[in-house]
Structure 1
């Protein structure tokens, strides 16, 4: 999808990153229910490549531990510098962030996530 195609969407666009297929599907469904059009990728590296081509997103929801060179924290830091308009939510069931891990435009939530938790974080942090 080209940037011009994204502009035609009537919904805010979210990029969801998780390497676990069932978690990716579940998270995408929750975010879709919040009113976003969702694009799914399985690594932070893929997410960064996608963002380099399509930076008109409003939300990045990423797991911390994904295969590849870049993890969710590194992706969030790059997004904060290059695309500060993108709201970032980082989730993990294993890793916990240090202060250095979290850019100012990011919020962390612990897995397992619930639809209510995602709703609250998006409402309080992202305001779609």
Structure 2
């Protein structure tokens, strides 16, 4: 399986802070991407299991609640759905930053809207 052309294109936003998630979703409305939101890596995986062929971009906070963090999610996406462009963010990634897949990009918090939009636009090209 792989990404099919002609389908809706989705930006998956994975952020446990509701205000930041809402801000990122509002940014994605400026692109050609539809928005799916998750508050944890586990919730994001549930979305991906049913809609991964439509997901083009994932914007993931590294520090997430539950068992998996954002790095674990980015690595899973890289292996199972390699066409999805991953942008990770954190105010304090600690040592986990070194564990991101090399295909993932990182922007520190507070992130600039332009940086996020550029990565999202690259995903839809």
Task: Using structure 1 for the length normalisation, give the TM-score.
Answer: 0.83
Structure 1 residue runs without a partner (length 5+): 1-5
1:117 aligned counterpart, secondary structure: helix
Q: Is 1:36–2:9 an aligned residue pair?
A: no
1:33 aligned counterpart, secondary structure: coil
2:83 aligned counterpart, secondary structure: coil
Query: Is residue 80–residue 104 contact of structure 1 (8 Å, CA) maintained in 2?
Result: no
Aligned residues: 117
Inter-partner Cα distance in structure 2 for 1:73 and 1:94: 13
Structure 2 residue runs without a partner (length 5+): 1-5
Q: CA RMSD in A?
A: 1.8
**What is aligned with 1:80?**
78
Q: Tell me the CA shift for residue 54 of structure 1.
A: 1.4
Q: Which has the higher contact order (CA 8 A, sep 6+)?
A: 2
